[in-house]
Every structure is written in C-alpha cells, then in structure tokens.
Structure 1
Amino acid sequence: MIKLVLLLTLISQIARSFVLDYEQLYSFTSYAKIPDEDSVGYLDPRPLGGSMLDQATPFFGEPLNVIISANSDPHVLSNQGLLDFAKSVGFAAECLNLHIGGKQFANLDGHGWFKENIELRQSYFPYFGTCWESYQGGNHFRAFRQSSTGAWFLAVSKEKKIKERHKILEDGYNLGRDDLASKALLGGSGNGYSFRTSIEWIDGLIEPGSNGINHHIPQDGRVAVLTVHNMRLGTFFTKSAEQLHKQATGLKSSSSNKLLSISKNTPNFATILSSDNTIGCLTDPFKARSVDDVYSLSGRNAPTVGRWIRKHVIDDDELGELPDFSKWDKNSDPSVGIWSGRRSRSVALPQQLDGDPLNQDSIKSLIYFTEPNSEDFVHTIHQRFPHAKKLGLALPHTPFETGFVHTLSFPGGAIVGGGLVGFGSTEENKTDAPNINFEGYSPFSDVLKVTNASGNIILMLNNANACRQLLELLNKNRIDKEDEYYVAAYNDNGSIKTIHRITSGDPSRGAIALDTTDDLTLAHGIQFMKRQTTSTQVQVDPTPAVTKSPTINAVSSRHPLISLPLEDALVAQDCIHIENEFIVASELGFNTSTNPKQTPWSCKVEASAKLLL
C-alpha cells in the first residue's frame, strides 16, 4: 500500500516587516487521503435477495470472487477509473473492442439481474495484447457495479485458448482471482495514475465447491476484497473566489487528511483550513495577462501515516567560523562546494521520521513547504533520507494577510507564523531526478574558474581579481550597472547546476558577494548571467484529456505567470482542471537538487522546478 508521511514542524523565527505588491490569482492545493474505516465497502448481495454468482446460463453462474471496495479512491469506482486500474494490473479492453459470446448478468442489490458493465482481458503486450489472449487464452474478468455502494464485483477466471472455446481452466476461478490479486498488491500505473492496493480475504460469501458453478469447476469460496488507492494530483484554475471555495468545499466534506496550499490573497482562506484533518500553508498567487482573477485548486488522494509537530531554536553561536578556501586543493572531492557545511547543523527529527518502521530508503520523494533559511532541517532530512528526491518551497511573506511573516495551518485551523508542512511518498512512478528550468538567462562572459573564495564571497576568477573582471565585462557589453546580475555554476555535462544573484562587489579586494549559503563547486566553471524579465511562466497544458505522471511544479518568481494556453482556456471557461499536476509558487524560491544524493540547494532566483513522483 502506498504511504504518505505528513510532515508538520514549528521553527522559531524573527519577525520582520515587508511591503508587498498584490496580485489577483489564487492557488489551493490538497494532498493525502485516509479511507473512512466506518464506511461500507460493499454489501453482501444475498440478504438483499441477490447472489454472489453471476448468471452465465439460466442454470449456472461464475463466482464473483473479487470485490473492489467502495472505500477505494472515487476515480477507481468510475468506469474510466476501472479501466485505468485494470491497465495497471495487466488488463485491457477486448481485442479491437470486439466481443464474441454472450453477456453475463448479476443481481447485487436484489433488484433483478443486470448486464455486466464491461469485460476485460489480460494484455500480454502494449499493443493488441488482448488479441493474443483471445487466441492463446489467459486471465479475464467481467465487472458489475453494486448500485447501493458503488463497489465493483468481478467474476475473474483463467480460460483456455480459442480452439478450446475459451473454456475455464481446471481451478481457473481460483487461479484467475489469485493472479489479479497478486498483481494488484505489487502496485502499478495506468493512464498516468499510480495505484496501490490492500487486500482482505473473506470466507463465507461463496459456498466452496462446484454447486451451481459454470462448467462444474470447483472453487474454494474465498473472495478478495481490494481497497485501491490512487496517487492522483490535480489543479483547478478558476476565475472567481466563489468557484475556489466551491471546489474546496468538496474536499473539506470528505473524511480524508489533506495538505493544502492556498494563495495568500484568497478571501476567507481560514474557512478552508479549519478542518481537524487539514494542514496547510499560504503561497504566492499566479498572474495572467488578460484575466483579472484566477484561482486554482490542486488535489491528490492517497493514504497517509504519521503526523508530528516539532519546535527547535536556532543557535547561531554553534555555527563556528566560516571556512577559508584560499588554499583550495584541486584534488579535493568535486562534490564538495565552497559553502559546504557552513550552516548545516543536524537537528533532532520527530520520532515518526527518525525511528521504526522507516529506514533511510523508505521515503522515495519528499515535498515540503517551509520558511526560508531552514538549512538545518533540510540538511538533517537529507541525512535521514539520502536517496529520496526532494523539493521544498520557501513560504512567501504574509504580514498583511495574517500578521505573520509566514503562514502555516495545523489541524483544527490553528494558524502559526513559521514551521514546515509536507509529505513523504514511500512509492514512486518515476525515478527521474528533479529538473530545474532556468529559461530566460543569457551569459555575458566565458566560463571562468573560481580560484579563490571564502564563504559566499568569490575573490578570484582564473587567478585574477573577480570584481574587476565583472566591471570590465559590463563596460565591454554596455550593460547597465544598475541591473541585476547572476553567477551560474555548471555540472560536468555542461548543464546549469545553480544560479545565484550577485548582491555586491568590492573592486579593491576583488570580492563578489552572492545571495546564497549553498554549495558552489570549485571543480566546475562559473559564468556571469543577466536576465531580461522579472517573471517566470509555468507551462501548463489545459487539455483535459492529457494524462501524465504525477508531477510537482514549484515556481520561484516575483511575478509567476500561467501559460498562454491556460489563460486562453480561462477566458472561455469558469474552471479548468489540470490532471496530475500540483502547482505552487513563491517569491522566496524553492530548494531541490538535480542529484538526489546531494543536499538540496536554495534557489532564490527566477526559475521553476519539476519533480515526478
């Protein structure tokens, strides 16, 4: 079963005042679901006047030996959701969507016999895989929906090849059921959705033996009850606050645990965060060029384990002296950077993350929302789960909205001024490392080598005064000295690893100061950069039919923009649903690493990051 670990922690902070600009775009995000243990997963058809055998002939039926519980994700209980789940366990529609043979019927509510909703067959390979099953034989099932609960009842069996008229194998009912159940337990993906399943085995619903069973084939009477969880994300963009609250009400009324990210200019946002099963935070809104007000609601369903709240006090006295890199050894480990360990001090983790049953490989992906300058926590969580993909959003300033420098919400609607919320996924669809998009930057220097530096100060490049080289480049390229400039560091493959803003310079000493406490690897080159715009656009495909892997999109920007196709769609529609994407923004940036084995670095410049779960 997929597990998500919900993260909550409090971190002390220093209050500050800010002057902010306000935009009219909103975001609201939900995450995590725990099924209601008291809800009815299915009803035994027999007391209702129904049967646990379908009707294959007037006198015989096949056992309904698998039930997909109504406690499963709502998407799985839909027609399309069943197809998506079936694909994840190796089934698909019949060959060329053609059906030869009679339909079967089931009475699940005592209201008479109703025709099967669909018949699906084992797919041996991606294209025309069910055609081979039709020829060679294999597993297949017929699905019936119980109208009173929404649960799916499946008649599963393994059949012989077409030459033998698709007769059921000896013990084919048990074999078919067990094969489907075992594949469901392994988990899988279908049409961009990732499913994880728990199974309960039930005796007594079907009489063991062959009495009344089609083809007189004996079966053991056991029924596999599947509860299927769907790792699905989505984002709703709307043009009104009323639409936003309407979408939020649907999530709020469910019994699931949620993590919510709401754009800070959302009216009455506290009402959305007031549930006992809700945690969340305020993030920055997006802009559009022609739409006055845009709101977004993102969501994901999956079971969760663990909640925790932790406080710690940062003590700068224990940080020690800054290292001197004037005598850097060129043969040193190239993964070690100029600022390695400067502020990386381990802190205690909550018991839920620091003890059993989690080990360092338990968490595959970590997504978190935290106040800026939380390097200690990020460093410690990286030590605890060194192989997990990580993406964190730095919470924006919210003094005018809530009176707090940053805003988080804990269960019951308690609003606090700092800390961390997030989740950790124990399974993954994609092993791809996080990707960072630095679109919009252009270089105005060659690639240079850092030959002397200390802390966040670069002193020499190519063994020459760093600041004087920068001034010469500005004059040579006729670039306004009042603009903002950046330093980009490169990976071995020539791609940009990090970009940091230049905050000041001293030509007499050669010093160039960068806005960072993160690593800059001396073994790699750096390059001076400039940028023409102060906005970053998140590329969103508004096409409802598009399916993709579950994706987290974080945008670091003073003016985050939605894409033109999405903006055009919003002009024509009140609400746009983006499947499987969780989209958030902050003026204060994000932290991640394109190499999950390296400690995440803080990106405070215009950029966007994407993580595939």
Structure 2
Amino acid sequence: MIRAQTVVARTPSALLASLDRFHLQSKAKGSTLLFALSAPSDALSVITSHLKSHFPRHIGCLSSPLPAYRSHIMCAVALLDGITFRSTITGPADPQVGRWHAARRSSTQQLPVAQSNVFEEFNGVLGRVSWEDIWNRSATSAQKMMPVELRMARPEDVSSILYFSDKAPEGFAKALKATFPHAHEAGFLASSTPFITGRPVTLFHDGEIYSDGAIGIALQPSLSHTSLTVKFPGLVDLTPDLQITSSEGNLILTVDNGNPTRVLLAAMNKHRLDGCDVLLKDDEFYIGVMSDGKVERLHRITSGDPSRGTISLGTMSAPPQGSIIRVGPWTSE
C-alpha cells in the first residue's frame, strides 16, 4: 500500500478539497485508487467525477455511513499497485418477485451446478458417487470463468486479493479459493443503492459503473522486509496440537482420526475438573490454525455433534486435511 486515508466532511466542497490534497501528496503515478464513498445522491456525480479525473485507474463502491457520521460525507481512499479486474461470477440468485425484478437483466454468470449430473455417477445399486471428482470439476469450471487478468496471473505472484462485491459473492469467492489457494482474500459487500442510484449496488471500475458482480485488485508479494505479527489476547488453549485428518465444506470431520466434538468435550471436562475458571457461559469457542507454533488464523465453532463427531465452523471452507489446530474459548480476560 502506498497511501491510505479516510476523509469525513460536512460539505461536498470540503471533501473535494481533502481529495485534492490527497492527490497532490500521492507521488506514485499509475497506481490504482481504491475507494468507498458515502454521500447524498445530489453530490455523487461531482464527487465521483472528481475521483475519476484525478485517478483514471480506480475501483470503488458506494457504502453506508458510519452510525456516528450519518449526517456527514465520507470517503475512504487508498492507493495500491496491483492487477485490477472485473468479475461476472455470482452466487445464488435472490428470489425474484414482481415486474421490476422480472425485467432486470444481469451481466453476471452462474457457476455450473456441480451436482447436476450426480445421478449419472451411479453404476447400479452398489455404485458410489465420487464427490471429490464432482467438486474438482466445479472448481475447474470456476477457474475458467475467472477474469482474464486473474487467469493470466501465476498463483505464486499473487499474495492478497481485495474486492468489492454485490450481495452474492459466493461463486466468486469459491473461484478465488480454487485459483489462488494461498492468497489472502478480503471481500466487502457494497451497500444497497436502489433508492440512491437506481441500482441494486453501485460499483466503479476505471470509468465504468456496474450493478452486479465484483471488482477488485490482486496484490503482489512485497519485496520489502515488512513483517506482521498477529496476537489473540484472551484466547485459551484447551487442547494440544491436533491434526485435521478429514474435512469437507465448513465441517471438520475428524482430528487425529478421531471424533473432534468428543475431543473438545473431553478437553472442557478436563479443565473444569482441574478448577481452571476460564469456561464461561458467554464464551465462544474457536479453532486456531497453527503455523510455526503460533495461531495464524481463527475460525469460530458454530455447532458440534457428539454422535457424528463433526464440528461446524463459521466459514465457507474449513482448514484442509493436514492442518494443525488447537481448540479453545475466547475469554474476556
């Protein structure tokens, strides 16, 4: 990131003056402007035109104001170097009711339904469906639908991906995961704007305005020695390191070839018996994915089934087989 700033102003002229200063202080030429704008409808045209004139390369969206600044105009801006793209991959379609919905035309494309030929996979009564092959075919189809800019990029040359999306990002998120499995991803849902611009959402990309899909930027690995340390104060380890031996979707099926829910319950009982007062009713339990002995990322546990053993996580994709994890609550201490 070259430069970032959030501007809060009472009038359009004050916001434009701040954006002018941001432009003058930004020495990097050819970079892409990333912005999220919250402004009244009568000021949108002049502000967006101003942004486009200063930064021909840009991606952005209309967003909701912060609760404390609803009467103000806000614009968060950042200058980045990377590969910009526009995706037309979408997720599940919303139910459509009424003439307004029926008349709408979308520029997005649905991912192929991987399960459409499931029953053709059976070979007689004893036949079995190869779900792994089916999901792999779906991932391959998703990769073919990726924006050409991302298809031309090598996975090892992309470290992070930032994008603004409509209300159905599932298809694009799935395609990103299949194409760039090791890249960090941050997706932001654009605010609903039917009463502001007449569009479900309003996305900006290099002078064009879109009502659906996603726009974003892929960042390359930093050549500097910048380091990032992430700490999770209040996270208590209940278990030693455990290895995920099978997972599917957002479910952890087995850890150390055993029942993951029973492992968690046993750890909870052990700590209660030891008199460790860390398990409170309001605690939320998390799976911590380990890397070099430290927690790299967290997934919240949403449910567990002692009989089946599965643990459900609040994420679209559980850590893959072979991942090392620890389980514990997040306390207020």
Q: TM-score range by the shorter chain?
A: 0.5 to 0.7
Which residue is equivalent to 1:513? 312
Which residue is equivalent to 2:205? 410
Structure 1 pair 378–471 and aligned structure 2 pair: CA distance change class (3 A): same
Which residue is equivalent to 1:115? none
Which residue is equivalent to 1:260? 34
Structure 1 pair 266–424 and aligned structure 2 pair: CA distance change class (3 A): same
Report the AA paired with residue 247 of structure 1.
S
Which residue is equivalent to 2:233? 440
Once the 2 structures are TM-superposed, how far is the Cα of residue 501 of structure 1 from its aligned partner?
1.4
Once the 2 structures are TM-superposed, how far is the Cα of residue 478 of structure 1 from its aligned partner?
6.1
Once the 2 structures are TM-superposed, how far is the Cα of residue 488 of structure 1 from its aligned partner?
0.9
Paired residues for 1:357-368 under 5 Å: 360=154, 363=157, 366-368=160-162
Q: Say whether residues 1:317 and 2:114 are aligned partners.
A: yes
Q: Secondary structure at the match of 1:399?
A: coil
Q: Say whether residues 1:377 and 2:175 are aligned partners.
A: yes
User: Counterparts of 1:511 and 1:531 in 2: how far apart (Å)?
Assistant: 21
Alpha carbons 2:60, 2:203 under 8 Å: kept: yes
Report the AA paired with residue 410 of structure 1.
H
Which residue is equivalent to 1:347? 144
Alpha carbons 1:408, 1:415 under 8 Å: kept: yes
Gaps of 5+ in 2: 89-107, 119-129
User: Counterparts of 1:364 and 1:451 in 2: how far apart (Å)?
Assistant: 27
Which residue is equivalent to 2:216? 421
Gaps of 5+ in 1: 1-230, 325-339, 534-613
Q: Say whether residues 1:234 and 2:4 are aligned partners.
A: yes
Once the 2 structures are TM-superposed, how far is the Cα of residue 505 of structure 1 from its aligned partner?
1.5
Structure 1 pair 463–300 and aligned structure 2 pair: CA distance change class (3 A): closer
Show CA shifts across 1:285-308 (max 9, x none).
7789xxx97956434387x88876
Structure 1 pair 490–404 and aligned structure 2 pair: CA distance change class (3 A): farther
Q: Say whether residues 1:487 and 2:287 are aligned partners.
A: yes
User: Counterparts of 1:239 and 1:295 in 2: how far apart (Å)?
Assistant: 6
User: Counterparts of 2:84 and 2:132 in 1: how far apart (Å)?
Assistant: 39
Paired residues for 1:529-548 under 5 Å: 529-532=328-331
Q: Say whether residues 1:430 and 2:246 are aligned partners.
A: no
Once the 2 structures are TM-superposed, how far is the Cα of residue 411 of structure 1 from its aligned partner?
4.1
User: Counterparts of 1:366 and 1:467 in 2: how far apart (Å)?
Assistant: 33
Q: Specify which of 79, 98, 110 is matched with residue 300 of structure 1.
A: 79
Structure 1 pair 445–342 and aligned structure 2 pair: CA distance change class (3 A): farther
Show CA shifts across 1:306-345 (max 9, x none).
8766553212325975459xxxxxxxxxxxxxxx969643
Alpha carbons 2:34, 2:79 under 8 Å: kept: no
Which residue is equivalent to 2:19? 248
> What TM-score does the superposition give when structure 2 sets the normalisation length?
0.60
Structure 1 pair 294–409 and aligned structure 2 pair: CA distance change class (3 A): closer
Specify the structure having the higher radius of gyration (Cα): 1
Once the 2 structures are TM-superposed, how far is the Cα of residue 267 of structure 1 from its aligned partner?
4.1
Show CA shifts across 1:433-460 (max 9, x none).
8x47353351240224246544132344
Structure 1 pair 298–379 and aligned structure 2 pair: CA distance change class (3 A): same
Q: Secondary structure at the match of 1:247?
A: helix
Higher-helix-fraction structure: 2
Q: Secondary structure at the match of 1:315?
A: coil
User: Counterparts of 1:281 and 1:351 in 2: how far apart (Å)?
Assistant: 22
Alpha carbons 1:343, 1:517 under 8 Å: kept: no
User: Counterparts of 1:251 and 1:430 in 2: how far apart (Å)?
Assistant: 24
Q: Specify which of 296, 305, 322 is matched with residue 497 of structure 1.
A: 296
Report the AA paired with residue 470 of structure 1.
L
Show CA shifts across 1:257-305 (max 9, x none).
8533215x444574333447343124677789xxx97956434387x88
Q: Secondary structure at the match of 1:467?
A: helix
Alpha carbons 1:283, 1:395 under 8 Å: kept: no
Q: Say whether residues 1:396 and 2:178 are aligned partners.
A: no
Q: Say whether residues 1:449 and 2:242 are aligned partners.
A: yes
Q: Secondary structure at the match of 1:526?
A: strand
User: Counterparts of 1:414 and 1:376 in 2: how far apart (Å)?
Assistant: 24
User: Counterparts of 1:398 and 1:497 in 2: how far apart (Å)?
Assistant: 30
Q: Secondary structure at the match of 1:437?
A: coil
Once the 2 structures are TM-superposed, how far is the Cα of residue 369 of structure 1 from its aligned partner?
0.7
Alpha carbons 2:85, 2:150 under 8 Å: kept: no
RMSD: 4.7
> What TM-score does the superposition give when structure 1 sets the normalisation length?
0.36
Once the 2 structures are TM-superposed, how far is the Cα of residue 370 of structure 1 from its aligned partner?
4.1
Report the AA paired with residue 368 of structure 1.
L
Once the 2 structures are TM-superposed, how far is the Cα of residue 507 of structure 1 from its aligned partner?
2.0
Paired residues for 1:592-611 under 5 Å: none
Total equivalences in the alignment: 273
Once the 2 structures are TM-superposed, how far is the Cα of residue 461 of structure 1 from its aligned partner?
4.0
User: Counterparts of 1:241 and 1:447 in 2: how far apart (Å)?
Assistant: 56
Alpha carbons 1:505, 1:513 under 8 Å: kept: yes
